[in-house]
Amino acid sequence: MEGFLGPAHAWTKAVHVVAAVSWMAGMLYLPRLYAYHVDAEPGSRQSETFKVMERRLLRGIVNPAMILVFVLGAALAVDLGAGPWSQGWWYVKLAALVAMAALHGAFARWRRAFAEDRNTRGARFYKLWNEAAAALMAIIVVMAVAKPF
């Protein structure tokens, strides 16, 4: 039985995956930029360059990609019907997705702190959160692809 997307299901899924890859690229790169930004003197040319890079990455790639992930993911979920809702992997994936969105929000707050020269954290802090994004990504992919339970 085909859902409301019909033959567009495969294309919707393809764009969803591209958006997810784009979102993750930014989510892995942003905390690395923050880790390097820590060493730049506030107000310096280097610090101002990092501010531009961080803002453009977040607003130009990461935010739009996340929106596409959610919109297309919701369309795909509705298109699949009730099937996934009875399986445990679905809830683990959704929980990891909510955690990723919360992390995205934290990254946006940290970008604002850098933009206003208010950062108080060290490079190690941002490197650890970089690992958290990678771990969440791994959980999401394993749940979506392997559907282990």
What are the extents of the domains in the chain?
6-146
What is the residue-wise DSSP string for the chain? ---TTGGGHHHHHHHHHHHHHHHHHHHHHHHHHHHHHTTSPTTSHHHHHHHHHHHHHIIIIIHHHHHHHHHHHHHHHHHHTTGGGGSHHHHHHHHHHHHHHHHHHHHHHHHHHHHTT-----HHHHHHHHHHHHHHHHHHHHHHHH---
User: What pLDDT is recorded for position 17?
Assistant: 97
Q: CA 92, CA 144: separation in Å to the nearest integer?
A: 10
Record the pTM.
0.93
Distance of CA 96 to the CA centre of its chain: 11
User: What pLDDT is recorded for position 18?
Assistant: 98
Q: CA 113, CA 115: separation in Å to the nearest integer?
A: 5
pLDDT tens over the chain, length 149 residues: 468 999 999 999 999 999 999 999 999 999 999 999 999 999 999 999 999 999 999 999 999 999 999 999 999 999 988 888 899 999 999 999 999 999 999 999 999 999 999 999 999 999 999 999 999 999 999 999 999 99
CB 65 within 8 A of CB 23: yes
Helices (H) and strands (E) in the chain, counts: 5, 0
